[in-house]
Amino acid sequence: MKIAVTVNGERYERDVEPRTLLAYFLREDLGLTGTHVGCDSSSCGCCVVAMDGDRAVKSCTMFAVQADGHEITTVEGLEQGGKLHPLQQAFWDQHGLQCGYCTPGMLMTSYVLLKHQPAPNEAEIREAIAGNLCRCTGYQNIVKAIQQASTELAAEPAAAAVGS
Amino acid sequence: MATTTDDLPARHSLGKSMKRKEDPRFIRGKGRYLDDIVLPHMLYLALVHSPYPHARIKSIDKSKALALPGVKAVITGEDLDAAKLEWLPTFHGYDKQMVLAFGKALYQYQEVAGVVATSREIASDGAELVEVEYEPLDPLVTPFQAREDKIILRDDRESKTNHIYHWEVGDKAKAEGELDGSAVRIKERILSPRCHPAPLEPCGVLADMNKATGRLTVYMTSQAPHVHRTAFSLVTGIPEDKIHVISPDVGGGFGNKVPVYPGYVVATVASVIIGVPVKWVESRTENLTTTGFARDYHMDVEIGATKEGKVTALKVSTVADHGAFDAAADPRKYPAGMFGIVTGSYDFPTAFAEVDAYFTNKAPGGIAYRCSFRVTEASFAIERGMDILARKLDMDPVELRRRNFIKKEQFPYPSPLGFVYDSGDYEATTQKALDIIGYDELRKEQAEKRKSGELMGIGVSTFTEIVGAGPGKHFDILGIKMFDSAEIRIHPTGSGIVRAGTRHQGQGHETTWAQIVAEELGLDPQELLVEEGDTDTAPYGLGTYASRSTPVAGGALALAARRIREKGKKIAAHLLEASENDVEWKDYKFNLKGVPGKSVTMKEVAFAAYTNPPPDSEPGLEATYYYDPPNLTFPNGSYIAVVDVDRETGAVIVRRFLAVDDCGVVINPMIVEGQIHGGLTEGFAMAFMQEIAFDESGNNLNTNFTEYLVPTALETPHWETANTVTPSPHHPIGAKGVGESPNVGSPQAFVNAVMDALAPLGITHIDMPLTREKVWRAIRDAEAKVS
Amino acid sequence: MFPAPFDYYRAHSVDDAVQALARFGDDARILAGGQSLIPAMRFRLARPSVLVDINAIDELAYVRESDGHLAVGAGTRDFALETAPLIAQRYLLLADTSALVADPVVRQMGTVVGSLCHNDPAGDWPVTALAARAQVSIRTPGGATRTVAIDDFVVDSYTTAVGTGEMAVEVRFPTPGTRTSGSYQKIERKVGDFAAEKLLAGAKPSKDLIRAAMREAEKIADPSPDNRGSVEYKKAMAGVLVGRAIAGALERLGVGGLK
Domain borders along chain A are 2-77, 86-157
The whole-angstrom distance between residue B444's C-alpha and the CA centroid of its chain comes to: 38
Q: Which chain A residue's Cα is nearest to C191?
A: A130
For residue A61, give how far its alpha carbon lies from the nearest alpha carbon of chain B (Å).
Answer: 14
Give the separation between CA B506 and CA C246, rounded to whole angstroms. 47
Catalytic residue chosen out of the listed positions B370, B384, B391, B565 = B370
β-strands B278-281, B204-210: how paired? Answer: antiparallel
In chain C, the DSSP E strands lie at: 7-10, 28-31, 50-53, 63-66, 69-73, 135-139, 145-149, 154-156, 159-160, 167-174
- Predicted local distance difference test score (pLDDT) of residue C208: 82
- If one counts the domains in chain B, the total is 3
Is residue B587 classed as helix, strand or coil in its secondary structure?
coil
> B100 and B234: one domain?
yes
Closest CA to B462 of B308, B343, B548, B368: B343
Last residue of a domain, one of B576, B604, B627: B627
B371 assigned to active site: yes
pLDDT band at A55; cut points 50, 70, 90: very high
Domain assignment present for residue B62? The answer is yes
Q: Which chain C residue's Cα is nearest to B120?
A: C2
Of B648, B692, B701, which to mutate for an interface test with C (greatest number of C Cβ within 10 Å)? Answer: B648
For residue A99, give how far its alpha carbon lies from the nearest alpha carbon of chain B (Å).
Answer: 4
Burial string for B505-530 (b: 16+ CB within 10 Å, else e) reads: bbbbbbbbbbbbbbbbbbbebeebbb
Average pLDDT over residues A52-69: 98
DSSP class of residue B752?
H
Q: Which chain A residue's Cα is nearest to B252?
A: A99
CA atoms within 13 A on the CB side of C113: 27
> B61 and B27: one domain?
no
Fold observed for domain A86-157: DNA polymerase; domain 1 (1.10.150)
Give the separation between CA B148 and CA B125, rounded to whole angstroms. 42
> B497 and B582: one domain?
yes
The whole-angstrom distance between residue A69's C-alpha and the CA centroid of its chain comes to: 19
DSSP bridge pairs for C229: C226
> B206 and B58: one domain?
yes
- A56 — contact with chain B (CB < 8 Å)? no
Q: Give the H/E segment covering residue A152.
A: helix A140-155
Give the separation between CA B376 and CA B294, rounded to whole angstroms. 10
Helix axes of A103-116 and A86-93: crossing angle, nearest 10 degrees = 130
Last residue of a domain, one of B589, B612, B627: B627
> Distances from the Cα of C19 to the Cαs of B292, C118, C160, C164, in angstroms?
51, 21, 20, 12
Query: Which residues in chain A touch residue B201, judged by CB atoms under 8 angstroms apart?
Result: 36, 38, 99, 101
Domain assignment present for residue B490? The answer is yes
> B592 and B736: one domain?
no
- Predicted local distance difference test score (pLDDT) of residue B440: 98
Neighbour subunits, B (≥3 Cβ pairs < 8 A): A, C
Contact C159, C210 (CB under 8 A): no
**Inter-chain residue contact A18 with C7, CB threshold 8 Å:** yes
Contact B365, B292 (CB under 8 A): yes
- Predicted local distance difference test score (pLDDT) of residue C243: 86
Domain assignment present for residue B578? The answer is yes
A135 residue type, one letter = R
Domain assignment present for residue B760? The answer is yes
Here the CATH number for the domain that contains residue B232 is: 3.90.1170.50
Going by C-beta distance under 8 Å and a sequence separation of 6 or more, which residues neighbour residue B165? B94, B326, B335, B355, B356, B357
> B782 and B691: one domain?
yes
Q: Count Cβ atoms below 10 Å from residue C121 Cβ, excluding itself.
A: 18
Of C227, C237, C242, C244, which to mutate for an interface test with B (greatest number of B Cβ within 10 Å)? Answer: C227
Domain assignment present for residue B344? The answer is no
Domain assignment present for residue B342? The answer is no
Is the confidence at residue A26, as pLDDT, over 50?
A: yes
Query: Which residues in chain B touch residue C189, judged by CB atoms under 8 angstroms apart?
Result: 689, 709, 771-772
Q: Count Cβ atoms below 10 Å from residue B585 Cβ, excluding itself.
A: 19
Last residue of a domain, one of B568, B597, B627: B627
Is residue B210 classed as helix, strand or coil in its secondary structure?
strand
Predicted confidence (pLDDT) per residue in C57-98, tens digit = 999 999 999 989 999 999 999 999 999 999 999 999 999 999
Give the separation between CA B766 and CA B782, rounded to whole angstroms. 12
Of A135, A144, A147, A148, which to mutate for an interface test with B (greatest number of B Cβ within 10 Å)? Answer: A135
Map C67-129 to HEC letters.
Answer: CCEEEEECCCEHHHHHHCHHHHHHCHHHHHHHCCCCCCCHHHCCEHHHHHHHCCCCCCHHHHH
Domain assignment present for residue B167? The answer is no
> B442 and B501: one domain?
no
For residue A54, give how far its alpha carbon lies from the nearest alpha carbon of chain C (Å).
Answer: 9
**Inter-chain residue contact B250 with A95, CB threshold 8 Å:** no
**Inter-chain residue contact C10 with A56, CB threshold 8 Å:** no
The answer for B168, left when phi > 0, alpha when psi is -120 to 50, beta otherwise, is: beta
Here the CATH number for the domain that contains residue B735 is: 3.30.365.10
For residue C58, give how far its alpha carbon lies from the nearest alpha carbon of chain A (Å).
Answer: 14
Fold observed for domain C7-53: 3.30.43
Q: A2-77 and A86-157 share one CATH topology? A: no
Query: Over chain B (787 residues), what is each successive 10-residue block's mean pLDDT?
Result: 49 96 98 98 98 98 98 97 91 90 97 98 98 98 98 95 97 98 98 98 98 96 97 92 98 96 97 96 98 97 98 98 92 92 98 98 94 95 98 98 98 98 98 98 98 98 96 90 97 98 97 98 97 98 94 98 98 98 97 96 98 95 98 98 97 98 98 98 98 97 96 97 98 96 98 98 98 97 87
β-strands A10-15, B43-49: how paired? Answer: unpaired
**Inter-chain residue contact C230 with B773, CB threshold 8 Å:** yes
For residue A158, give how far its alpha carbon lies from the nearest alpha carbon of chain C (Å).
Answer: 24
CATH code of the domain made up of C58-174: 3.30.465.10
Contact B502, B556 (CB under 8 A): no
> B637 and B601: one domain?
no
Domain assignment present for residue B644? The answer is yes
- A140 — contact with chain C (CB < 8 Å)? no
Q: Which residues of chain C have pLDDT under 70?
A: 188-205, 257-259
Q: Count Cβ atoms below 10 Å from residue C19 Cβ, excluding itself.
A: 16
- A4 — contact with chain C (CB < 8 Å)? no
- Closest Cβ opposite residue A62 in set C2, C43, C109: C109
Catalytic residue chosen out of the listed positions B110, B223, B507, B748 = B223
Q: Give the H/E segment covering residue A90.
A: helix A86-93
- Predicted local distance difference test score (pLDDT) of residue A161: 54
For residue A131, give how far its alpha carbon lies from the nearest alpha carbon of chain C (Å).
Answer: 5
Give the separation between CA A148 and CA A156, rounded to whole angstroms. 13
Q: Where are the domains of chain C?
A: 7-53, 58-174, 197-252
> B460 and B596: one domain?
no
Query: Which residues in chain A touch residue B31, judged by CB atoms under 8 angstroms apart?
Result: 34, 100-101
Is residue B662 classed as helix, strand or coil in its secondary structure?
strand
B465 assigned to active site: no
Structural domain range at position B26: 5-31+484-627
Going by C-beta distance under 8 Å and a sequence separation of 6 or more, which residues neighbour residue B225? B245, B246, B247, B503, B533, B534, B535, B538, B543
- Predicted local distance difference test score (pLDDT) of residue B787: 67
Of A58, A73, A109, which to mutate for an interface test with C (greatest number of C Cβ within 10 Å)? Answer: A58
Map B322-367 to HEC letters.
Answer: CCCCCCCCCCCCCCCCCHHHHHCCECCCCEEEEEEEECCCCCCEEE
Q: In CATH, what class is A2-77?
A: alpha beta
